[in-house]
């Protein structure tokens, strides 16, 4: 995870050195917090609740975190830093055309939603609970991701696979709308193979829908 020296100017707030804490314990605390925040709400979850969930004494929590808000920030940052890695992975595929990149994005986004479903649920539930200063760097990452998906759809329009008269921004929001709420209905089935099938299904659904409104020449097919 990236770090900064302060909260002004959209910089990432300073985070404690990994040398001062156990990465395994930190992840355990983060996962426990996501579970409690989702079930009880951020405001209604106390540090004592968190200590009890992890199975440690309350004072021991402060060896790993400085405040409950720091922990909420960590949850938000984790899921958004991971989408930065999704963008990097897609950008590295120089041999893929716009359609293949859009399909890869959909599949990676599905796996991200599955892996982080508890924390993503907390983000949408508690998006207003983080202070504006702490939220600013999260929104920078989120907006970069939205622009990235927008650019993939615009690439499809340039290739004539999506009607160029359609609003690419609306189409990108539609694609996000399909995938962003998986935490409300996803149920594990069939292990990794089942998740791969779901990722393929979602990718087929999104690309099939987007491509159905355009002919190879970039015009809408006759109705």
Could you tell me which residues come within 8 angstroms of residue 25 by beta carbon, excluding any fewer than 6 positions away?
A: 54, 64
pLDDT attached to residue 149:
96
Tokens 């927008």 sit on residue: 150
Query: CA dihedral defined by 182, 186, 191, 192, rounded to 10 degrees?
Result: -10
pLDDT attached to residue 127:
93
Helices (H), the chain: 23-40, 47-54, 58-61, 68-91, 98-115, 117-126, 132-158, 168-179, 191-211
CB 179 within 8 A of CB 203: no
Q: Residue 66 corresponds to which tokens in the numbers above?
A: 């400085």
User: What is the pTM for the complete model shown?
Assistant: 0.81
Q: Residue 129 corresponds to which tokens in the numbers above?
A: 């609970």
CA distance 148 to 143: 9
User: Long-range contacts for 17-20 (Cβ within 8 Å, ≥24 apart)?
Assistant: 20/63
pLDDT by residue for the chain (223 residues), tens digit each? 333 333 334 444 444 444 544 778 888 999 999 999 999 999 999 999 999 999 999 998 888 888 999 999 999 999 999 999 999 999 999 999 999 999 999 999 999 999 999 999 999 999 999 999 999 999 999 999 999 999 999 999 998 899 999 999 999 999 999 999 999 998 888 788 889 999 999 999 999 999 886 544 445 443 3
pLDDT attached to residue 3:
35
CA distance 38 to 104: 29
Helix/strand/coil percent split, the chain, to 5: 70, 0, 30
Q: Would you say how long the chain is, in residues?
A: 223
CB 206 within 8 A of CB 175: yes
pLDDT attached to residue 130:
94
pLDDT attached to residue 64:
85
């Amino acid at each position: 995870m990236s770090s900064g020296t302060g909260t002004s100017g959209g910089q990432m707030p300073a985070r404690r050195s990994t040398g001062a804490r156990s990465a395994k314990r930190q992840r355990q605390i983060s996962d426990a917090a996501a579970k409690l925040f989702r079930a009880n709400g951020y405001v209604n979850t106390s540090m004592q609740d968190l200590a009890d969930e992890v199975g440690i004494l309350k004072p021991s929590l402060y060896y790993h975190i400085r405040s409950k808000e720091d922990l909420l920030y960590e949850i938000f940052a984790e899921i958004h830093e991971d989408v930065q890695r999704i963008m990097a992975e897609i950008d590295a595929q120089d041999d893929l055309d716009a359609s293949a990149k859009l399909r890869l994005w959909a599949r990676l986004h599905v796996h991200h939603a599955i892996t982080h479903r508890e924390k993503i649920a907390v983000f949408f539930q508690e998006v207003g609970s983080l202070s504006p200063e702490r939220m600013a760097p999260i929104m920078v990452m989120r907006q970069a991701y939205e622009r990235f998906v927008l650019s993939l759809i615009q690439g499809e329009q340039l290739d004539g696979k999506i009607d160029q008269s359609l609003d690419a921004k609306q189409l990108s929001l539609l694609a996000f709308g399909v995938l962003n709420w998986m935490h409300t209905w996803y149920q594990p089935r069939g292990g990794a193979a089942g998740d791969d099938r779901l990722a393929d299904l979602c990718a087929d659904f999104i690309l099939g829908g987007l491509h159905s409104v355009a002919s190879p020449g970039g015009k809408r097919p006759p109705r």
